[in-house]
Amino acid sequence: MNAHEIAEQFVLRLDARDWAAWTELMTADVVYEVPQSRERIRGRDRYLQFNQEYPGDWHVVPKVVIGEGDRAAVWFDWRVGGAATADAQVFFELRDGLIVRITDFWPEPYEPPPGREHLTERW
């Protein structure tokens, strides 16, 4: 699989809770990071446990998948309980066809700062 396919399979197998097939995509020493909360998880076993323990009926649905060489990114929908959805992004770094680094971003909604209403519309 190329970087695009690996990134897409990461999201699809995670959503399916197909843990065996999901962990096959990464190295044993994979590193997961969340820069917003300055959290890091070292190793596939802990990262698997983190996802297995993650609360709620969550789902991840890929919207845009981009792969090039040893890098990939997925913009995905994060859905909980079939209702609330949010845009999130994950970046991957690969080595020899396996994921070695995963970085997640969880942007929150915010109100626009004043001063640009003359240029923007809202939805």
Q: How far is the CB of 6 from a copy of itself (least distance, A)?
A: 13
Applying CB under 8 A, does 40 fall inside the site for a copy of itself? yes
Nearer to a copy of itself, 36 or 97 (CB): 36
d(CA 14, CA 61): 10
Which parts of 10-57 are beta strand (E)?
26-34, 39-42
d(CA 114, CA 123): 16
Q: How far is the CB of 15 from a copy of itself (least distance, A)?
A: 20
Applying CB under 8 A, does 81 fall inside the site for a copy of itself? no
Nearer to a copy of itself, 26 or 73 (CB): 73
Tokens of 32: 């997961």
d(CA 22, CA 17): 8
H or E element, residue 104? strand 98-105
Give contact residues for a copy of itself (rule: CB under 8 A). 4, 34-42, 46-47, 49-50, 53, 55, 64, 66-68, 71-73, 75, 87, 89, 91, 103, 105-112, 115-116, 119-123
